[in-house]
Amino acid sequence: MKLTADETVRAAEFFTQAITRLATRPVRIMEVCGTHTVAIFRNGIRQLLPPAVELVSGPGCPVCVTPNEYLDKAIAYSRQPNVIITTFGDMLKVPGSQSTLMAERAQGADIRIIYSPLDSLQIASDNPEKSVIFLAVGFETTAPTAAAVILQAERQPITNFFVLSSHKLVPPAVRALLAADDIRVDGFLLPGHTAVISGLAPYLFIAGEYQVPSVVTGFEALDILQGIYMLLKQITAGTAELDNQYRRVVKPEGNEAARNILEQVYQPAAAVWRGLGEIPNSGLALRQQYAGFNAEVKLPLPPLLTREPAGCRCGDVLCGKIEPASCPHFAQGCTPEHPVGACMVSVEGACAAWFRYGQGRWNYA
């Protein structure tokens, strides 16, 4: 049921006042998802909260956590003859070790922005003499679509379509955060869109093994305020549960059809996350049956020399160790127009959100 403007204001006031009453000691809450980070800034939620409630960003921006090694591979493929790279637009400006996809495109590489992975199949069908490589980056939300495209390519068949996969799973990253000695989080706002696919079960370990409260939360301002309120109720009561604020969308069992497609095409594998390093079973690798669509198998590259930008602390931002403004590059050499690190590129990046909506605003020139 959609609320009126007056009802929305009253609900926001209720949750804000309730949060203030419950915030009797300093509390550190991590919004795992980059979409939450942007919504929090856009709606001024930080300004509504009492000083005792600290919000920190987490590793829930798929572009941000993709390591430079992956970007360097994509750039190397773009330089090969008879190769077309297809990608979503937010990958173009992400810096690799020495270049970006945008720079390569300006130099003549055939790099095409798509709006659906299905567009890649059409491009491959229209260009049978070329290899079309789709940059498959994302979490549980987007991975089923990529898997469905691979199945369609197999059925048609289209033999010049390949995937450079960097799909990742959110729960193992949350586990890695909880296991780290230098990261303190009192509660998690969990991403509603990944839980739509996975269901609630993959997140039960947060409360069950680590006794930390968590709430699966939607993306409207009231969703986030209610999620924070639900977390503070648990923290104040000294309990730890997995709660679901986003019940209108997220079902406990998730989306079985989407999970079946994922399990058919992919299998869990170790993956490297910017800031967190290699995490077991946190990635999705193509099963052997679909190795013919794996760019790294069919079009192998020589070893690449990869490096991270000097002084960039994007990895620490993604772990909640620092705020973006603590990075020496923030709003100085690093802006959305001239990013040093991935966190300043993506629309879901914490540094980009801080620059556009938060403390970085004073640095606009």
Question: 316 and 56 in contact (C-beta within 8 Å)?
Answer: no
Residue 364 lies in a domain: no
Asked if residue 149 belongs to a domain, the reply is yes
Is residue 302 domain-resident? yes
Structural domain contains residue 12: no
Quote the pLDDT of residue 1: 64
Is there a contact between 230 and 243 (Cβ–Cβ < 8 Å)? yes
Q: What is the pLDDT of residue 309?
A: 85
For residue 283, what are the domain limits? 22-356
Per-10-residue mean pLDDT of the chain, 365 residues long, equals 85 96 97 95 94 96 94 98 96 94 97 96 98 97 96 97 97 97 95 97 98 98 98 98 98 97 97 96 97 97 90 94 94 91 92 81 41
Check which CATH number belongs to the domain holding 190 and give it.
3.40.50.11740
| Residue 3, domain member (yes or no) | no
Task: Give the count of domains, the chain.
Answer: 1
Sign of CA dihedral 313, 315, 317, 320: negative
Q: Is residue 133 part of a domain?
A: yes
Q: What is the pLDDT of residue 358?
A: 72
Provide the pairing of β-strand 214-217 with 187-191. parallel
CB atoms within 10 A of CB 260: 12
For the whole model, what pTM was predicted? 0.94
Residues whose CB falls within 8 Å of the CB of residue 123, separated by 6 or more in sequence, listed in order: 84, 86, 112, 114, 132
CA 64 to chain centroid: 7
